[in-house]
Amino acid sequence: MNPLLEDFNTAPFTKINVTDYKPAFKKAIEITKEEINLIVKNSETPTFENTTEALDYTGQKLNRITSIFFNLNSAETSKEIQQIAKEISPWLSEFKNDMILNAELFSRVKSVYDLKDSLELTPEQNMLLEKQYKGFARNGANLNTTDKEILREIDAELAKLSLQFGEHVLADNNAYELHITDEKDLSGLPESVREAAKITAKQREKEGWVFTLDYPSYIPFMTYANNRELRKELAIANGKKGFQDNENNNEQIVLNIVSLRHKRANLLGYKTHAHFVLEERMAETPENVLSFLNDLLEKAKPAAQREFQNLQNYAKKLDSIDSLQKWDGAYYSEKLKKELFNLDQELLKPYFQLENVIDGAFTIAHKLYDLVFEEVFDIEKYHQDVKTYHVKNSKGDFIAVFYADFHPREGKRNGAWMTSYKPQQVQNGLNDRPHISIVCNFTKPTGSQPSLLTFNEVTTLFHEFGHALHGILANTTYNSLSGTSVSWDFVELPSQVLENWCYEKEALELFAKHYKTGEMIPMEYVEKIKESASFHEGMQTLRQLSFGLLDMAWHARESSEETQSVKEFEAEAFSSTLLYPDVTENCMSTAFSHIFQGGYSSGYYSYKWAEVLDADAFELFQEKGIFDRETAEKFKTHVLSKGGTEKPMTLYKRFRGKEPKPDALLKRAGLI
């Protein structure tokens, strides 16, 4: 029997064979088609219950299998899994199109939608109906037969290209290593970084030390290595993923994706892909996004140029560097930061043992939202590194299952993300609770010390945990509106707002203790962390804005003319945000997975957008007290538990009492 097709609660990872996936997908697609067929063939007049609601409850088996498979393709992939992903992506794309372009099904959905004003629906029911109708209309249900076929072809091709893009980036990432045999080339590197590189070398059966493009290896090398030539080599290798003369080149794939997205938007009656995407976001139009980005750019650019000039002068004074390059940025920033604030990331790391930081995040969640995390050992996992938890409230009511996967390995992509193995919903009177997971890439423990985090990694953990809370506390009726199923420029609010606690003395006292002595982090360090929080904020803001502007340049263009050169196009998009000299061998777009593999196309601006929301929201916590139960309860009630059941601005205003203004963010960033 195929374990994926049996009824299961938590994912049956240990029972699944790679050969189970394809038959499971085939069968689950058939089952879902039968469920849809029952709705279509229902002889009764279409109603909210027998059509809208019934449709939301279809495909649950398929959704579970899909989430297990694609989560593993990111966190624990293999050649076999990647091959299956290539084969099943077109099946899923075709199935989705079969459903969206099913004229009889759409006719039922539309007839309920046309009556919506007379149905006396709750706000959540109204949102479900609206979202469902738009899901059809925005994906071609109103097209003629010929155009529907064209749309199917475009979607199948886009699904394939997006997978290839990600595989190429991962392949280039894994193909590179910096092998060091002379100890003097390690000059400047902290002991823990050397030790991790020695372990990597050993795993690869090599003498000496090996550094890779995985973040826990790459970032410390760029930050601390005194050898400028080796920093340059590593930086260039990192910057040319997908941009080399090999089988992993992504230039044509980028151009094809952009062109197909543009054609798709035009086919559906939109000017550009960005117009299509943004219609369903808080920002609403490309014009609003560009005005938002350019407004921030105007405020941040003078500060960024000042900071860059200071850094350049500092590098010149210190090492006679005439022209500051990209591989110098992190290195001299760290030195200058240390000099200005007497704050060394390495000095902080002993206070941030991974296990303590996790406990700290759990304690904060308990203080704010009455959650209790209990590690359990009877839930199946896909890798021994994964930790599993039951989440309850203090009365002992079960709230969620939580998975956490913290360390890098061969089959895992870079970065950090939150995901779900099972959504929350209420069905047949039963509140079915969610299974939520976070995946990060933090340094593994070594022989001599546990996993110690940099302060940046601490904020990353809190960021992903903020997303997790959005999933864990979900409390809606329909799974398609539950948890993080919200407008994309609202989804980063719960994650970014939680990062604020990392800078607060009251919160740090809960978990920042020395891994050897157990002593609390000294308060002068806390002050310095706060002081240095806005260090180089102008440059950081410019960097974020440059990615948002590049995304909009690709997707808000009204002409679909083929761009000849990805590199030249990108240089033009970056022109207003440029600080460092360009590196000929490097290109951002060919490895910009957020927009060409993830779901961020026309949405990268949402990180900054959410920062405005998070600074504004946290201002209320600061006024009332960062552990104020009443404020936390309001945030939980109106934001975290509500998912996408109402418009984001409606929910936000209910929590905050007013619309957000960028002032809190600009103040926090030291830009005003």
DSSP assignment string, 423-458: --EEETTEEEPPEEEEE---PPP-SSS--B--HHHH
Does residue 97 have a pLDDT over 90? no
Does residue 51 have a pLDDT over 90? yes
CA angle, corner 652, sides to 650 and 653, nearest 5?
65
Distance CA 375, CA 397 (A): 16
**Residue 668: its pLDDT value, please?**
86
pLDDT tens figures, 221-247: 999 999 999 999 999 999 999 999 999
pLDDT tens figures, 600-655: 999 999 989 989 999 999 999 999 999 999 999 999 999 999 999 999 999 999 99
Q: Which amino acid belongs to residue 560?
A: S
CA 389 to chain centre: 22
Q: Would you place residue 201 in the very low, low, confident or very high pLDDT band (cuts 50, 70, 90)?
A: very high
**Residue 560: its pLDDT value, please?**
61
Range(s) for CATH 3.40.390.10 in the chain?
350-482
Sign of the dihedral through C-alpha 238, 243, 249, 254: positive
DSSP state of 520: B
Mean pLDDT within 425-440: 96
Helices 606-624 and 286-319, packing angle to 10 deg: 80
- 50-59, 219-228, 529-538: which range is least confident on average? 529-538
Distance CA 380, CA 377 (A): 8
**Residue 433: its pLDDT value, please?**
98
Mean pLDDT within 411-420: 92
CA angle, corner 653, sides to 648 and 659, nearest 5?
95
**Residue 662: its pLDDT value, please?**
84
CA angle, corner 287, sides to 286 and 290, nearest 5?
85
Distance CA 250, CA 595 (A): 13
Please measure the distance between the N-terminal and C-terminal CA atoms of the chain and give it in whole angstroms.
64
pLDDT tens figures, 532-561: 888 999 999 999 999 999 999 999 998 767
Dihedrals φ, ψ of 420, to 5°?
Answer: -135, 140
Tell me the three-class secondary structure of 618-657, residue by residue.
Answer: HHHHHHHCCCCHHHHHHHHHHHHCCCCCCCHHHHHHHHHC
CATH class of 13-142: mainly alpha
Q: Would you place residue 664 in the very low, low, confident or very high pLDDT band (cuts 50, 70, 90)?
A: confident
pLDDT tens figures, 557-604: 987 677 789 999 999 999 999 999 999 999 999 999 999 998 899 999
Which residue, chain included where needed, has tokens 């390690």?
186
464, 492, 499, 619: the catalytic one is 464
Which is higher by pLDDT, 562 or 25?
25
Distance CA 546, CA 543 (A): 5
464 has catalytic annotation: yes
Distance CA 482, CA 473 (A): 10
Range(s) for CATH 1.20.1050.40 in the chain?
13-142
H-helix or E-strand containing 77?
A: none
Mean pLDDT within 30-49: 97
The answer to whether residues 160 and 86 touch, using CB atoms and an 8 Å cutoff, is yes
Dihedrals φ, ψ of 180, to 5°?
Answer: -110, 130
| pLDDT more than 70, % of the chain | 100
Distance CA 588, CA 425 (A): 39
Distance CA 573, CA 587 (A): 12
pTM of the model: 0.84
Q: Give the right CATH number for 350-482 from 3.40.50.720, 3.40.390.10, 3.40.50.10420, 3.40.1360.10.
A: 3.40.390.10
The answer to whether residues 474 and 431 touch, using CB atoms and an 8 Å cutoff, is no
Distance CA 252, CA 277 (A): 23
**Residue 671: its pLDDT value, please?**
81
Q: Which amino acid belongs to residue 663?
A: D
pLDDT tens figures, 474-516: 999 999 999 999 988 899 999 999 999 999 999 999 999 999 9
H-helix or E-strand containing 383?
A: none
Question: What is the per-residue DSSP string for 317-349?
Answer: HHH--SS--HHHHHHHHHHHHHHHH---HHHHG
